[in-house]
Amino acid sequence: MNKPANVNREKTLRVYLGSALLFVCIFTSATIIGILILLALPLSLKVRYQLGAAWCGLVVWMSKFFCGIDYVVEGREHIAPNQPYIVLCKHQSAWETLALRSILPMQTTLLKKSLQWFPIWGWALAASDSIAINRENQREAMRILLTKGTDCLQRGLWVVIFPEGTRIAPKTETKFSAGGAMLAHKSGYPVLPIALNAGTYWPRYSFLKYPGTITVKIGPPIISKGRKAADINAEAEAWVTQAMQELENP
């Protein structure tokens, strides 16, 4: 097993400069790629997806170049490219929302509908076939997730869900929401649990990014056919919780 390196949270000149350069480059490149995705609306979803995935890969590379943030993946053998999965992933920072585009096959993501209201960036998200929900209306949100999520899976897309609902600080636990497990129960598609420690190096709500190596742990698939949503959710949450304890207490 790969062990995370000791975290150096010293606020050096390199940390400030690297974080500033990353911010400027993300802002600039996101605007450019957003315009390109909107211009590609007459083309296929695959073209728009590839544009977005290329940008995500660029940001992950820039985070390494400017801030010294690298990553390793454990459990790649659990990825079956021709089998769509419902991914239930730990959520600590913005990093994983980008990096999973490079780690996993073609996918869609469950996200807040309000994110699509931002000019250019949000419109580009809307053009990428994301599953957008209004969390204030839970019944309607569940209906959209089950309907559109199943449709995406049947079309061969993976569905990425962050069941904690928001970014959670390292060494903090919260219960998984049942949406992803309910989708697995209703659709019959398997679940792939993922744990990671991205928040240690790319903290939530923080301008500063710190050098180090993020570990992404992909768990064995969880069978959903013939099982209750509560059981699926409990198994995924238990695996992620155990994996996080291993990451945070090497």
Residue 2 has pLDDT above 70, yes or no: no
Q: Considering its fold, how many domains does the chain have in total? A: 1
Confidence of residue 73 (pLDDT cuts 50, 70, 90): very high
Q: Give the pLDDT of residue 126.
A: 87
pLDDT tens profile 221-238: 999 999 999 999 999 999
Q: Is 185 a member of any domain?
A: yes
Q: Is 2 a member of any domain?
A: no
Q: Is 8 a member of any domain?
A: no
Q: Give the pLDDT of residue 37.
A: 95
81 vs 220, residue with greater confidence: 220
Residue range 156-176: mean pLDDT, rounded: 93
Q: The CATH number of the domain where 210 resides is what?
A: 3.40.1130
Q: How far apart are CA 204 and CA 93, in angstroms?
A: 5
Residue 232 near residue 184 (C-beta atoms within 8 A): yes
> 161 lies in which domain range?
13-248
Q: How far is CA 79 from CA 40, 128, 162, 190, 214, in A?
A: 29, 23, 18, 12, 19
Q: 203 CB contacts (<8 Å, ≥6 apart)?
A: 93, 169, 209, 210
Q: 136 CB contacts (<8 Å, ≥6 apart)?
A: none
Q: How far apart are CA 218 and CA 77, in angstroms?
A: 9
**The model's pTM:** 0.92
Q: How far apart are CA 139 and CA 50, in angstroms?
A: 32
